[in-house]
Amino acid sequence: MLFCSVQGEGRFMGVHSVFLGTFGCNFKCAGFGMARGESSVELEAIAQRITEFTTYNELPLVSTGCDSYASWDPRFKDLSPMLTTDAIAERIMEILPYKRWEDEHLVITGGEPLLGWQRAYPDLLNHLSMTGLKEITFETNGTQKLTSEFKKYLQEWSQKPPFPSREITFSVSAKLSCSGEERSEAILPNVVCEYQEVGTTYLKFVIATEEDAEEALETLDIYRAEGFTGHCYLMPVGGVESVYTLNNRRVAELAMKHGLRYSDRLQVPLFKNEWGT
């Protein structure tokens, strides 16, 4: 998955960005949009019809569960193109408005982009076409430690000429119980705190209810106790507009009530969360 769009979430909402999506994730997040303790079955219904689809963009959106299911479920892997480093760099140059890096950011997302892909990023970032890049965001669930090699590489890349400093951001969408994931596996503050040694790091909790907001506050305290110093955003659940519009105002009000930042999901009202937006 490789496309240009505006960043829809978090710290750089509205910034023109190149999105590079990796395949694979350690979570399924089947609980989003469901009653507590229940899991979405929409994905299974789509998987039973997999022969109807020939490209990634033909897959239907889901109103419950993970809205980026095609980026991690192996049943859909053949619909995701696999590109070489040169092909990725060439494609990026093609989709940039001026065929070169200007003010655009690179957003590396997934799936979970900090799984085994860490060893592949230096080749891409060292490519001649990437010389003008100044900003990277990793959209991660906050459970994957940085390898010592990749951590060192990023620290060196941030100071690499021709720029006096480049900016690295970790947008951490830590999974609360409403995701359906086990808390012991989803909330790893020691991992997230290590990201702070490399770049700006913030938390982003997907919620729908007051109960979710209270859990987010309790979880934030756990991160703070470990040494986390970044901002915290509350973001509404909803990968389709009908669900999103039921939640966005409520979540914004909860963020204001608890003194946290609100993150929209611009890709939903602007583009209906279509693939490649």
pLDDT tens per residue, range 23-79: 999 999 999 999 888 999 999 999 999 999 998 889 999 999 999 999 999 999 988
User: What mean pLDDT do residues 174-186 have?
Assistant: 97
* pLDDT for the residue numbered 223: 98
Report percent pLDDT > 70 for the chain: 100
If we measure between CA atoms, which residue out of 240, 242, 244, 250 comes closest to residue 68? 240
pLDDT band at 98 (very low <50, low <70, confident <90, very high): very high
pLDDT digits (tens, 9 = 90+) for 219-239: 999 999 999 999 999 999 988
User: Percentage of the chain surpassing pLDDT 90?
Assistant: 89
Q: What angle do CA 244, 246, 251 make, to 5 degrees?
A: 80
Using the predicted structure, report yes or no on whether residue 276 has a pLDDT greater than 90: no
